[in-house]
Structure 1
């Protein structure tokens, strides 16, 4: 067998951010409603600002014709004896490239002073600065040589009309003072002031939308190239050095105009409750169960720790449903909650908590292994809760009593599923994992970075712990057939961090023996240790009714177990 050098992981690198165009496109499409929303907000803001800041600007204009008159000497040589000298007048229009010449003249200091003085002395008597007057004057071409349009533009409607009249009176004489060959005639008389601008609110709203949408798209772009998470099963197989056990689809209900609102589920998400979960959700755990059974058949493994990189990756939900799926095949399963900091198993299975029973009371000596294990009637699984909260969970788990609990459970159950804290957050998983046979690692879609996942897996392997595979949680479901999908989904993985009271035992429980382990029958209580003729008997078969021994639901019966065996003191839970 080839040995893997986990110190040089070939499945990932940390050279820096990279761009995956497919990933970017998916992120942009998935966040399209945000892009549109922000674009609409910017558009509305730009429209409102344009309307609020709009000031009307007025313009008066006239068209003048500029001509140059020249006298040339013309000699007539038609008479051979003597030539005749004549003077001829030639008139031509100014060329279009002379516009800058006239523009400079109309904004000259002398012209500006004349306009300022005239306006200050007219009937209105308002004085304007020369800089204001200069900014309002302009000459532009009409496309025809010699014809130029003179404009006066200002927010003062009356000023435009008055200033243009002064220009008409003073400007021709002022130009001729520089060049007496130029004559100026009015082609179009001064017009009344008209509004020369608009608020451009629509145009600005379009620009605002584009800017807002671009900002969100840029943010998504930055997040995409800097956050390398697992989005699909293909990403998981390519980027993470781990075997894939299965993919559990995302469960959530969407609502709203753009399906952006997601409703959280009420209560636990269990494969036994088909009113909350989809068929694909149930089938995913059956597939995972099959691979776990294959691991047991191949390697003899029966105890598995379920962990993840961070909290809220659906770890507890996966642990509970793996236990339930194994129990549905008639396997005896013990689910242990080893997350002493934030226990969540009892909440997930719908049972109240009781700090008198569990791992912590066993370690303290205030409870026994027999009394602390509870049978969940509706799920067909056994649960060993934490029995409280401990901030020194690493020290508590690293005791001989915890090892004794696991060893005793190995003798009496087909499978042991241990829900542990996130491996990247605390070291509890590395303490409890050596007591089991392997780790089932949860990887939530688009959550933890690939580098952090691989680093955590390398730390686990460095502790010589076998990772049997990963469960891809809250996947988009692209790997599942549409036949198995539903239109409405529920999200899971939110039970982490809740802590409650443990269930109380019921009296008058009865049942037969279960091999040399714990017997449980119609009362679903724990029986005594049964040896001899009523162990697994002649086989490991099923029986219906509350008959021989292993009863749950309709009742499972194992072998030739006597029915009249009265169990010893134990706990039973009926959460139906």
Structure 2
């Protein structure tokens, strides 16, 4: 089935159910990689809220007075009728007090007495229940304004109240005073903490949204379901236990420190690879991936070693001319020349450039330096002659190429091969990127033999390998894949 048809088929199957565990795993992976996002947003949020609180701080001053209100005509007799009257008046005042303070009459009289067009203050009053005791407060950004407004209210209040409850007298218990300091303090800590929490929360929400929408390949089932491709093998991540002294950390089946599960996964890959190779009559095989660091070079090297252990003669060619690394992976230190030198010389027998890997039936065609003009060299017609000459020298020729998701080199080489082995690191590239890269390789009309899932989640007690490596020279925009 063509890749475009695969995309249409996947797009028509309806929305995919959300796997909570997978989302959490994806979220954790993204969080570890982009932890700086919520931290940065938290710092920015704290700084913004703190700065806002600092700049918007306005000192507030309070002036207050406590007084009693008594009817002018009240009298005290043995029956206590005067007290009863004052109590009724107090209750009535307690009800009408807020309305009187906010009335147009009070406001206009205040502004007239103060000689202003607006009041720079907030007035509030509170009556003590069942008494004629009142607490009057005025708050303002100016201590002088708060005092003057309160003092003026006390002076004109009897005149305003006369329209409602009749004549009254105000007896001051605690007269108003000019505030010496604001009652509110400049506080940036609490807003900064709030801003930091909001910033971190926003960052985590962004990463969670990314994890919900990001579709990657993590299991063999994903390879089949999301890519509609055959998974030839799943290699778990290899880790070495910490020990004192130097130990061999070469990621190779020849390393005695490599776990049995790692070696078994490579053997399983070899068995499936041989089955596909026989079916397709494939002798020259391209190994590629979508992104740098997915482990294609390590897969190519260990597959070559495993085929050698099975009795096949293998030539392993380093066609990653920007970043040759096969020799390092296999621990080969002898100086050698590779494809770049063959292409530059335009002559010479490729067989003369092959170097053996000690103790195996694997030979390498690999140089020590990056090519000066890899794009031009990979498109050279002589490359086809080199690959053709190598066909007659071994049972299998494995070509390690650059990532096809970034560069067009792999497609040019794929046209010279019999099959493509595609390496996918679990949870690395997104599905659409993988499919685009495989589609790009398929333009060479070379069949995809299958995929290898690298860094797959291993069962308890098992190990795998880490295929990440240096790809600093893949950044040039002029060398990126076209089309």
Using the size of structure 2 for normalisation, the TM-score is 0.74
Asked whether the equivalents of residues 66 and 182 of structure 1 are also in contact (C-alpha less than 8 Å), the reply is no
Aligned mate of 1:13, from 11, 14, 17:
11
Rounded Cα–Cα distance in structure 2 between residues aligned with 1:379 and 1:144: 101
Q: Which string of whole-angstrom CA distances, capped at 9 and with x for unpartnered residues, describes residues 528-553 of structure 1? A: xxxxxxxxxxxxxxxxxxxxxxxxxx
The TM-score normalised by the length of structure 1 is 0.63
Q: Secondary structure at the match of 2:168?
A: strand
**Equivalent in the alignment of 1:392:** 376
Q: Distance in 1 between matches of 2:389 and 2:210?
A: 46
Report the CA distance shift for 1:231/1:431 in structure 2 as closer, same or farther (over 3 A).
same
Match of 2:215 in 1: 228
SS in 1 for 2:402: coil
1:297-320 deviations in Å (ceiling 9; x for gaps): 555544321012233332222212
Distance, in Å, in 1 between the alignment partners of 2:250 and 2:105 is 84
Deviates further, 101-110 or 314-323: 101-110
1:62 to 62, 65, 69: 65
Name the counterpart of 1:406.
390
In structure 1, how many angstroms separate the alpha carbons of the residues matched to 2:225 and 2:106?
72
Tell me what 1:433 maps to: 414
Shift of 1:212: 0.8
Which of the pair has the greater relative contact order for Cα pairs under 8 Å at 6+ separation? 2
CA distance in 2, matches of 1:301, 1:363: 28
Name the CA distance, whole Å, in 2 between partners of 1:17 and 1:182.
78
Residues in 2 aligned to 1:423 and 1:357: alpha-carbon distance in whole angstroms: 21
Superposed CA deviations along residues 502-546 of structure 1, whole A, max 9, x for unmatched, are: xxxxxxxxxxxxxxxxxxxxxxxxxxxxxxxxxxxxxxxxxxxxx
2:420 and 2:198 map into 1 onto residues whose CA distance is 49
Residue in 2 that maps onto 1:270: 252
Task: Provide the residue aligned with 1:361 in structure 2.
Answer: 342
- What is the CA-CA distance between 1:271 and the residue it aligns to? 3.8
CA distance in 2 between partners of 1:106 and 1:461 (Å):
87
Aligned to 1:492: 468
Q: Do 1:337 and 1:385's aligned partners in 2 also have CA atoms closer than 8 Å?
A: yes
How far apart are the structure 1 equivalents of 2:121 and 2:259? 73
Change (3 A) 1:279 1:332: same
> How far did 1:481 drift?
0.9
Residue in structure 1 matched with residue 99 of structure 2 by the alignment: 100
Which whole-Å CA distance do the structure 2 matches of 1:428 and 1:36 have between them? 38
Write out per-residue CA displacement over residues 231-289 of structure 1, whole angstroms, 9 at most, x where no aligned residue: 44443332112111223334689xxxxxxxxxxxx9964343466x6665444323322
* Partner in structure 2 of residue 121 of structure 1: none
1:481 aligned residue = 459
Superposition map of 1:437-456 within 5 A: 437-456=418-437
CA distance in 1 between counterparts of 2:114 and 2:238 reads: 78
Equivalent residue number for residue 80 of structure 2:
none
Cα displacement string for residues 215-236 of structure 1 (whole angstroms, at most 9, x for unaligned residues): 2123224534554333444433
Q: 1:346 aligns with which of 327, 336, 352?
A: 327
- Paired residue for 1:37, among 26, 36, 39? 39
Structure 1: runs of 5 or more not aligned: 72-87, 117-128, 254-265, 499-576
Deviation at 1:46, TM superposition (A): 6.6
Distance 1:333 1:68, change over 3 A: farther
TM-superposed deviation, 1:152: 1.9
- Aligned partners of 1:205, 1:19: CA distance in 2, in Å? 40
Deviates more, 1:384-393 or 1:461-470: 384-393
How far has the Cα of 1:336 moved from its partner? 1.2
> Which has the larger displacement, 104-113 or 215-224?
104-113
Shift of 1:294: 3.2
Secondary structure in 2 matching 1:472: strand
Unaligned runs of 5+ in 2: 75-83, 241-247, 475-483
TM-fit CA distance, 1:452:
2.7
Which of 300, 324, 338 is the equivalent residue of 2:305? Answer: 324
Give the Å deviation of 1:378: 6.4
Q: Higher mean Cα deviation, 433-442 or 101-110?
A: 101-110
Deviations 1:467-505 (A, max 9, x none): 121112344x2xx1121149xx8562435749xxxxxxx
Partner of 1:418: 399
1:440 offset after TM fit, Å?
0.7
Q: Structure 1 residue 49: deviation in Å?
A: 4.2
Q: CA offset at residue 331 of structure 1?
A: 3.6
Mapped contact 1:306–1:419 kept (Cα < 8 A): yes
**Cα distance, 1:416–1:492 mapped onto 2, change above 3 Å:** same
